[in-house]
Amino acid sequence: MITSYNIVVSLRKYLIDKYGLKTVIKTMGWKVPKERPFYSVSSPTTNHLTLAKNKELIHGVVLVEVGCYADSLVELNEITTNVKSDILYSTIPLLSDSGEVIGAFSFSEIVGDTEITDDDTQPVQNETVRNRRYIEARASIAMLKEYY
């Protein structure tokens, strides 16, 4: 079964292969890499809708968040432009749980784009508050019931 995990892992591998930047999966307890720039990938939610009787076809909408982290606004703009272009126009190889290419997917739309920069009025307490941007996009998956 294809899940949000497959989408996140596939996108992570795609970004590493294409740009050579460290790309981490953002989960509970994740560690912020010391070197910048880097990407983070996560899937905070997936919505499911049953489209056929007996749950033979279920449509899933996977929300994926890509975090772009950089040391400067110029660098942030460059890596953000790259990933936004891929989200809008690229077809990304879909990986199985074992890492085998089993298909491809693309994102249907960007639903959020939020830039966060340093707050000069307060000391920086956490490395993650430095120049960063979060892009949220939707990918659709269809799950077919398997009969054994």
String of DSSP letters for 22-55:
EEEE--TT----SSSSEEEEEEEEEEEEE-SGGG
Q: Name the residue with higher pLDDT: 148 or 109.
A: 109
Bridge partners for 135 per DSSP:
66, 113
Sign of the C-alpha dihedral computed for residues 126, 129, 130 and 133 taken in this order: positive
* Residues 24-83 pLDDT 10s: 998 888 888 888 899 999 988 777 666 667 777 777 788 999 999 998 888 999 999 999
CB 71 within 8 A of CB 36: yes
pTM of the model: 0.83
Segment 110-146, tens digit of pLDDT: 999 998 866 555 555 555 556 889 999 999 877 666 6
pLDDT band at 18 (very low <50, low <70, confident <90, very high): very high
What six digits make up the tokens of 139?
Answer: 């990918």
Residue 89 confidence (pLDDT): 94
Give backbone dihedrals phi and psi of 3, rounded to 5 degrees, phi first.
Answer: -130, 180
